[in-house]
Amino acid sequence: MKTVFITGGAGFIGSALVRLLIAEGNWRIVNIDKLTYAGNLESLASVSDSPRYCFVHADICGRATMDVLFSEHQPVGIIHLAAESHVDRSIHGPEDFVQTNITGTYTLLEVARGYWSGLSGEAKSQFRFHHVSTDEVYGSLGETGLFTEATPYQPNSPYSASKAASDHLVRAWHHTYGFPVVTTNCSNNYGPCQFPEKLIPLMIHNAVSGKPLPIYGKGDNIRDWLYVDDHARALRLVFEKGTLGDVYNIGGHNEKTNLEVVDTLCALLDELCPRADGLHYSALKTYVADRPGHDKRYAIDASKIGRDLGWKPQETFETGLKKTVQWYLDNPKWVARVVSGEYKTWTDKNYGSRV
């Protein structure tokens, strides 16, 4: 059975991808994750007993460990998601972003290139390094236009600058060494198991806890939302069929202002979980200071992946958001254990102290 490495598989998107590939694929998956605050093995409970799933608690910056893992497991490829991913955290503390997103990606590229150089025949020609990145590398749009694969890079936050640097490294490794890579740049994801620091899970958690819903600035910034399982399906397709050296943009054609997102969430919660006091959840909306350097608008032109690989999203924003709200309402324990920090206790007990 062929082995695929997934880095960051205990995170939001990585765990959705691991669940998809274990449910529908025939690969053996080795999930390499440092288990930072964002890594939660409870998101992988449904696959943890599969004989095709293996977890390795490791930091992608650790070159010696990565070398051992490649020679031990002999993967046919790697889908690299491990990253520091939250823009607000990058503004307050950029160092981890530089370390993991840039040095970590560099380390993986070098280790994987060394491993690939030693392969021959079909193993060598089939190997690929899939780098998972973001639309934020393109900067911010005005009122019109879409990000295409040819849009010049103009990253604005420490997070997006670190992701842009990693994209450039991946591209250069292909151009200089002929190393087989594909890169995907995706818009904002939402869905189950997202850490409640990001807009949608934060708003749901605060609303059901009766806390204020903090809207940055005027709430008129625009994001282009994609349901996480649609992203996972796109990643599988690009990993299997994408052209080496190419970039694919992934997005859902769901442009919404933040205010529209929060209002829709409030209306869904009014319907699915009405407040005992009869008040509407929208009464909790609070306008707070804006994010420094806040990008105004993101919107993806996803026509290349549709045209070349036949991908299209299965969820609309309405169906995906309803599923998401229902998931958080049905899984209060997942959120409660994240908020209380208990998910880390479980991790430490099973996997030892942090690396």
Part of the chain binding ligand NAD (CB under 6 A), chosen from 29-37, 69-77, 302-310, 311-319 = 29-37
Q: Is 65 in the site for ligand NAD (CB under 6 A)?
A: no
Residue 71 host element (H or E): helix 63-73
Q: Is 251 in the site for ligand NAD (CB under 6 A)?
A: no
Question: Which residues are CB-neighbours of 274 under 8 A, at least 6 positions away?
Answer: none
- The minimum distance between CB 35 and ligand DAU, in angstroms, equals 18
* Three-state secondary-structure class, residue 105: helix
Q: What is the C-alpha end-to-end distance of the chain, expressed in Å? A: 29
Smallest separation (angstroms) from ligand NAD to the CB of 278: 35
Within its chain, how far is the Cα of 290 from the centroid? 24
Residue pair 69/58 in contact (Cβ under 8 Å)? The answer is yes
Binding mask 180-199 for ligand NAD (x = CB under 6 A): ------x-xx-----x----
Per the CB < 8 A criterion, the answer to whether 58 and 34 are in contact is yes
Which partner in ligand DAU, ligand NAD, none is near 242 (CB below 5 to 8 A by kind)?
none
Minimum distance from CB of 214 to ligand DAU (Å)? 4
Amino acid type, 156: N
Q: For residues 8 and 180, which CB has a smaller minimum distance to ligand NAD in the complex?
A: 8
Which residue in 33, 59, 135, 167 binds ligand DAU (CB under 6 A)?
Answer: 135
Q: Which residue from 86, 89, 275, 344 is in contact with ligand DAU, where contact means CB under 6 A?
A: 86
Residue 12 within binding range of ligand DAU, rule CB under 6 A: no
d(C-alpha 298, C-alpha 223), whole Å: 5
Q: How many whole angstroms separate alpha carbon 10 and alpha carbon 312?
A: 25
Question: Is 246 annotated in the active site?
Answer: no
Q: Are 190 and 13 in contact (CB under 8 A)?
A: no
Q: Is 136 designated active site? A: yes
What is the x/- site pattern for ligand NAD, positions 104-143, by CB under 6 A?
x---------------------------x-x---------
Q: Which helix (H) or strand (E) holds 235?
A: helix 228-241
The set of residues, in sequence order, having a beta carbon less than 8 Å from that of 353 and lying 6+ positions away, is none
From the list 77-85, 105-113, 174-182, 310-318, the region that binds ligand NAD by CB under 6 A is 77-85
Rounded-to-integer distance, Cα 215 and Cα 288, Å = 6
Catalytic residue from among 138, 159, 227, 281: 159
Active site residue 115: no
Q: Does 12 bind ligand NAD (CB under 6 A)?
A: yes
Catalytic residue among 42, 59, 84, 135: 135
Residues classed as catalytic: 135-136, 159
